[in-house]
Chain A
């Protein structure tokens, strides 16, 4: 096994430092947005929306990358992965992110991270060069991540047959080869990641085709919206699955509990999840009544179905691994456990919103950022930070649950709950999302924004403490020699 490869350790440490720095910067942007909505500070609408666009794009990018870093690192236990491709993805990600920030801050590109067609062509106040530069930066990120995903997938298929990688042999009794759950989840997730990145490539090509046609070619707004949400929804969910793959792999060993073995129901659940997650995106188009009704119904049914394998297999397994048994608790598995709770609660908010008759009251209100921030900021982020802790401590010192760690976790929970509740209550009060300032009629908007900013600052303090602890250990890894 090549898990102790110093090069892989160093590139992983570098990824982690960059991801956390960008995370902190993006949280600050989020707090500034809530302060502006709360009328504590005054930004121009253009500044607000460039911040919003940068915040969304960066968050999606870094937490996808964080999941990939973790999966790439742990995959070394089973197959050899390419250091060169990992480095290539890192370089392209850094270039892509720098270009995105140039597009938003120098070019004033401000369409939101969903860049819904045809807004990038009619983005008022932005520089004319910002749209092509934005598309080029997305292309660079897409190429880096696609090559990385395909490379990991290829390495899996070098060792496992197609049926083994998807653990289909476990549908029969007494399979001769056991597929580790980590391999199955990684394979299933990479299928979704590659599919979503291919959709992104199609979107970029269609945007460029219209851009260079000078009016001869015009895209179809409904098709573009379907493609953009196929990409956006899928990648946002797959990055959660990358985090779950990590939990399946290391929760047992850090908790002093047996590692999960593959069973027929784990195989069935993840194969179903792969299919469901690729069609759940239709729920983003419920309020487009011209979308075929059959797809709207599929959207609700599949959104419901997607929760079954997650709850019945993954959540149930983690609960069963903890309930009534002695567990060696550390910051790593506490973050995993807390993240699963956040994922479940965010999932409940998501299922409520994925119900068409509710969506008509909640669509594009602050209920939407409420639920996706729940399963990201209090779910997926915690999965990745748990991995970062595990990664950085395994070589440097032992995991201890100090008093400071407990206080930091308390800050994280209090800050997280507070800033999320401000979103949920605002959503239930019909406060729209993506408003730089609120019309005077929507009286609770500014007040709840101030509450959100206050608690998000508490959340940020916890993240800064985590950053200090993780980054100092990552710097030790970076400075280590190969002796």
Chain B
């Protein structure tokens, strides 16, 4: 549940931030005319900046290798699914899709095996967002006209997965969805 961890982390930061700003404000209310405020400002600013740079550096080093471009990059997918999108439908097929008369098929993907979705659009930009059976967004990629985006994923849980469009594509945007099964 990466999203819940993110939310928890964010709320922790918000809590710290709120306490910080409230205490700064309260300190000014308590201060009198003789109060001098922060001393050795430049030194404190230096340490604050250094800590910030180190923390951000650690976060960047920890998260960049987990970017989707590098995940499963050196493995060969056992299944390839072609995905065509157009207002307001998804077409999923194990064979390449003809943009002039697009059609899809019922898709079943074996679990614990690497699958590659080759995603494109035949009209405007769309999103290809995969939701697990508990309706949690687990991975996504954009569908862009003139380009094919390759998304690799290994499903671990069998069940029915939903696909929603996550790039605004017109009035039918919220009804653009389909499903596939992981077996």
* Chain A residues close to B by CB (< 8 Å): 45-46, 49, 110-112, 114, 116-119, 122-125, 220-222, 225, 265, 287-290, 293, 296-297, 300-301, 304-305, 307-308, 311-313, 316, 319-327, 329, 337, 340-341, 344-345, 348-349, 352, 355-358, 360-365, 424-425, 427-430, 432, 434-439, 441-443
CA distance A278 to B16 in the complex (A): 30
**B27 pairs with A345, CB closer than 8 A:** no
B32 to chain A, nearest CB (A): 6
**A125 pairs with B171, CB closer than 8 A:** yes
Q: A297-B64, A349-B10 provided; 6 other pairs, C-beta below 8 A?
A: A118-B124, A119-B125, A322-B25, A345-B14, A358-B2, A441-B135
**Given A119-B125, A324-B31, residue A311 in contact with residue B52 (CB < 8 A):** yes
**A362 pairs with B6, CB closer than 8 A:** yes
**A357 pairs with B63, CB closer than 8 A:** yes
Closest to B151 in A: A289
**Pick from A112, A287, A437: contact of B141, CB under 8 Å:** A287
**A430 pairs with B131, CB closer than 8 A:** yes
**Pick from A290, A321, A326, A425: contact of B148, CB under 8 Å:** A290
**Given A289-B151, A300-B64, A308-B56, residue A265 in contact with residue B45 (CB < 8 A):** yes
**Given A352-B9, A355-B59, residue A290 in contact with residue B144 (CB < 8 A):** yes
The yes or no answer to B172 lying at the interface (CB within 8 A) is yes
CA distance A310 to B119 in the complex (A): 38
A227 to chain B, nearest CB (A): 14
The yes or no answer to B93 lying at the interface (CB within 8 A) is no
**B147 pairs with A222, CB closer than 8 A:** yes
Main secondary structure on chain B at its contact with chain A? Answer: mixed
Task: Write out the residue numbers on chain B whose beta carbons fall within 8 Å of the beta carbon of A316.
Answer: 45, 48
Task: Write out the residue numbers on chain A whose beta carbons fall within 8 Å of the beta carbon of B18.
Answer: 341, 345
> Interface 1/0s, chain B 123-135, versus A by CB < 8 A?
1110101010001
The yes or no answer to B136 lying at the interface (CB within 8 A) is yes
Number of chain B residues whose Cβ lies closer than 8 Å to a Cβ of chain A = 75
Task: Write out the residue numbers on chain B whose beta carbons fall within 8 Å of the beta carbon of A265.
Answer: 45
**B144 pairs with A434, CB closer than 8 A:** no
Of the listed residues A123, A287, A305, A323, the one surrounded by the most CB atoms of chain B closer than 10 A to its CB is A287
For chain B, residues 153 to 183, give those with C-beta under 8 angstroms from any C-beta of chain A: 162, 164, 166-175, 177
**B164 pairs with A439, CB closer than 8 A:** yes
* Chain B residues close to A by CB (< 8 Å): 2-4, 6-7, 9-10, 13-14, 17-18, 21, 24-25, 27-29, 31-33, 35-38, 41, 45, 48-49, 52-53, 56, 59-60, 63-64, 66-69, 87, 123-125, 127, 129, 131, 135-142, 144-151, 162, 164, 166-175, 177
Task: Write out the residue numbers on chain B whose beta carbons fall within 8 Å of the beta carbon of A348.
Answer: 10, 13-14, 17
Query: Can you identify 8 A-B contacts, CB atoms within 8 angstroms?
Result: A45-B171, A111-B168, A125-B171, A288-B141, A311-B48, A325-B31, A352-B6, A355-B59
Closest to B41 in A: A320
A-B CB proximity, top 7 nearest: A430-B137, A428-B7, A357-B66, A325-B37, A435-B174, A364-B166, A312-B49
A15 to chain B, nearest CB (A): 30
**Pick from B27, B53, B148, B175: contact of A324, CB under 8 Å:** B27
**A222 pairs with B144, CB closer than 8 A:** yes
CA distance A319 to B44 in the complex (A): 12
CA distance A308 to B56 in the complex (A): 9
**B170 pairs with A432, CB closer than 8 A:** no
B172 to chain A, nearest CB (A): 7
**B52 pairs with A308, CB closer than 8 A:** yes
Task: Write out the residue numbers on chain A whose beta carbons fall within 8 Å of the beta carbon of B7.
Answer: 424-425, 428
Task: Write out the residue numbers on chain B whose beta carbons fall within 8 Å of the beta carbon of A312.
Answer: 45, 48-49, 52
Task: Write out the residue numbers on chain A whose beta carbons fall within 8 Å of the beta carbon of B142.
Answer: 287-289
Task: Write out the residue numbers on chain A whose beta carbons fall within 8 Å of the beta carbon of B3.
Answer: 361-362, 427-430
Task: Write out the residue numbers on chain B whose beta carbons fall within 8 Å of the beta carbon of A123.
Answer: 170
Task: Write out the residue numbers on chain A whose beta carbons fall within 8 Å of the beta carbon of B4.
Answer: 428
**B170 pairs with A122, CB closer than 8 A:** yes
**Pick from A290, A297, A364: contact of B167, CB under 8 Å:** A364
**Given A289-B151, A325-B31, residue A356 in contact with residue B63 (CB < 8 A):** yes
Task: Write out the residue numbers on chain A whose beta carbons fall within 8 Å of the beta carbon of B66.
Answer: 356-357
